[in-house]
């Protein structure tokens, strides 16, 4: 998922889809690239699970998967929580050992 989000065009597509579902041609319109290039980016986004699409007649409609987006967010949130806890432990340690703070 992070690889899928690493490309600015794909982040643009995700941003557009966060405002609601869109057809492939709607997604392609603002992008300065060929339709095959857009389809390839969509393929990467679909493989990552971030985007789902369904075809009705000749129109393929794409939408974001909130669960996949949530799990990418959760991974980062967990690391941030771990970091906050480790900074808290350091703060507690320094409060209990003021002589260490002077040395650093």
Output the smallest distance, CB 90 to a copy of itself, in A: 7
What sign does the dihedral 34-13-75-78 (CA atoms) show? Answer: positive
Residue pointed to by tokens 């949130």:
77
Strand segments (E) across the chain: 22-23, 51-56, 59-64
Which of 15/34 has CB closer to a copy of itself? 15
Output the smallest distance, CB 53 to a copy of itself, in A: 15
Subset of 4-63 contacting a copy of itself (CB under 8 A): 5-6, 11, 14-15, 17-20
Output the smallest distance, CB 24 to a copy of itself, in A: 18
77 binds a copy of itself (CB under 8 A): yes
The pair of three-digit structure tokens given for residue 56, joined into one six-digit string: 């009705």
């Amino acid at each position: 998922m992070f690889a899928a989000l690493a490309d600015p065009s794909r982040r643009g597509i995700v941003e557009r889809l966060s405002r609601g579902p869109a057809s492939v041609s709607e997604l392609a319109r603002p992008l300065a690239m060929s339709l095959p290039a857009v389809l390839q980016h969509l393929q990467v986004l679909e493989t990552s699970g971030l985007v789902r699409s369904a075809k009705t007649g000749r129109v393929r409609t794409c939408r974001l998967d909130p669960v996949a987006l949530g799990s990418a967010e959760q991974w980062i949130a967990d690391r941030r929580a771990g970091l906050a806890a480790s900074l808290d432990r350091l703060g507690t340690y320094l409060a209990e050992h003021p002589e260490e703070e002077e040395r650093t």
